[in-house]
Amino acid sequence: MAGIFDLLNSDLGKSIISGVSGSTGTDEAKTGSLLTMALPVLMKAMERNASTPEGAEGLMGAIQGKHNGGILDNLGDLFGGGVNEEVSNDGDKILGHVLGAKKDNVTKVLGAKSGLDTGSVANILKVAAPLLMGVLGKQASQNNVTSSSGISGLLSGLLGGASSEGAVTQEQNFLEKMLDSDGDGSIIDDVAGMVLGGSSNKSGGLGSLLGGLFGK
């Protein structure tokens, strides 16, 4: 299974980055860097949500229904006429469901790292969230994931977790082991602390690694 970094570097990923950049009026390079950082964090949060039967069932229902991947088949229409309000509102709901009360903190952290203002980050994530759900829907279909019990494995595979084949890249290994560095289950708090140099920063942590990845 291709990982999320592979997908972002694919023709589809490049089309998404270019389209999101154009639709939000944001620099394409910064948009790409933001999405490379944000999408795995969102997926890791989804993986945590899907660790409960209720969460897994809810996510499975979404990707078998509205978010079955059809949005990816019409990117030209989606971006050509400007992303409509319905898609943006849908993205905002997805972010709220996945991140809960931490949504604003996530936006601030990502803005600080990417060099974008929080308003731009929020607009990009609102457009990107339905597309990410579409990716999950497509992957579920292609990998014959038809029940909630397979959702965690699907997400882990996309994140490049232990279930994936071959060597794990530095970025993928980092996502699995560093997002919750202190083991308290609060991914976003750890991300904020490490990126912004808080007390949870350990041996450079997320900030130094992502700095190397993005040249910041």
pLDDT confidence tier of residue 62, bands split at 50, 70 and 90:
very high
The pLDDT tens digits of the residues spanning 11-48 come to 989 999 999 999 899 999 999 999 988 888 888 888 88
What whole-number distance in Å separates Cα of residue 45 and Cα of residue 163? 18
pLDDT at 190: 52
Return phi, psi of residue 137, to 5°. -60, -45
Residue 162 exposure: Cα atoms within 13 Å on the Cβ side: 1
pLDDT in tens, 122-170: 999 999 999 999 999 999 998 898 888 888 888 888 877 433 333 334 4
Q: What is the pLDDT of residues 49-59, one digit of tens each?
A: 888 899 999 99
- Concatenate the DSSP letters of all residues of the chain into one string: ---HHHHHHSHHHHHHHHHHHHHHT--HHHHHHHHHHHHHHHHHHHHHHTTSHHHHHHHHHHHHTTTSSGGGGGHHHHHHT---HHHHHHHHHHHHHHHGGGHHHHHHHHHHHHT--HHHHHHHHHHHHHHHHHHHHHHHHHTT--SGGGHHHHHHHHHT-TTSSSPPPHHHHHHHHHTTTTSSS-HHHHHHHHHTT-TT--TTHHHHHHHHHHT-
